[in-house]
Structure 1
């Protein structure tokens, strides 16, 4: 009876081991990520949006939700509306509507870069490294626990199955326990392999997420380059128009007869 009870308890503990070895702390980990993002915004808003830094920081704060993440669409819309309503021109744009659209786009870009820093920045990489190390340790713990228990459990299983094979009505329960022990041993092996697959999926997900962040960063940079190129063309066009107007005025001034 003691052997049967011990056998059942050991196998039961192995079956729930993957659940006990969860990394957990997902909310805490996400909070660290959001703090990194907010720190990036606070450090870069002043330089990027001056003299609209106070308005922009206020919009980002007003539209930060329960996750402490800013809503770039709503924040950008608020800043754009403030610029248009108050007819605020920028360093490169006299048209407040164009200036508002440009600032709104920059809000989207700075939030994107903040998200990238939250994942790929120094603190973000420390969190990812810790998560991967904890995952590998969990897999090693599961494997070591099963390996340590294998020989002991095999002996118990053999004894139970030998008793069950002696025949007689009294051994019906032992036969059932023998079959159950074999099935449980197989299940534990399957769960061990599944835990490895889950760990591999986590690693692949992290790598995919990093690739997505690089793509987002590239898109933000491309967007900024296009906007700067368009601004340069508008400046060139305005300069050329002013030159032609000046030339036309001079021609008209000196070409007329008194």
Structure 2
């Protein structure tokens, strides 16, 4: 399962008014693990940036003057996202802008080359109805460090979104993940002793899967999140506390 977490920054709020994409950030996840593969470009929009947009992302037109146009990176971008599921916070905004850029090049909409688009904002609203669900709020809710997010930035926001998505969908792993045969070295075979009085040379083999260091760390993070949400009433931590 290949997923791409995507975010954009733009010159304004309405692509229908001629506003353009000025930054694209994507990070890749395979089987709920970040691969460290990413796509990131700043783009020259050949137009002014609205003051309101500049206040949000802090990307100036002067900074973008020597950056490529969207047309120069379009094929590279499409190759990166091809066949993957896109996960975007408020997906209609980013998809609208990306498709507007592709239309200027007489290229097909991005949905035609991807496996699908999932709106993580819609998912968050279903999980937390009636509450705020922007990235900053979700980071606080799930105990995710977003201290570096002083301004919006496409790549940083895509990385944060990946962490938020994993936290929001925690518990679904059993539905979508299979045992990795490459982890066979982490398995141990235990032979059960025969009951007394039995002479048959029979042994019942049981496979034990030992948690990896990363899985143990994720488990600790989950317990810390439950402890925070429950205001110190996490039963699992209480059970393991020293007497």
Report the TM-score, using the length of structure 1 for normalisation: 0.25
Larger radius of gyration: 1
Higher relative contact order, chain-length normalized (CA < 8 Å, sep 6+) = 1
- Which protein is richer in strand relative to its size? 2
Report the TM-score, using the length of structure 2 for normalisation: 0.27
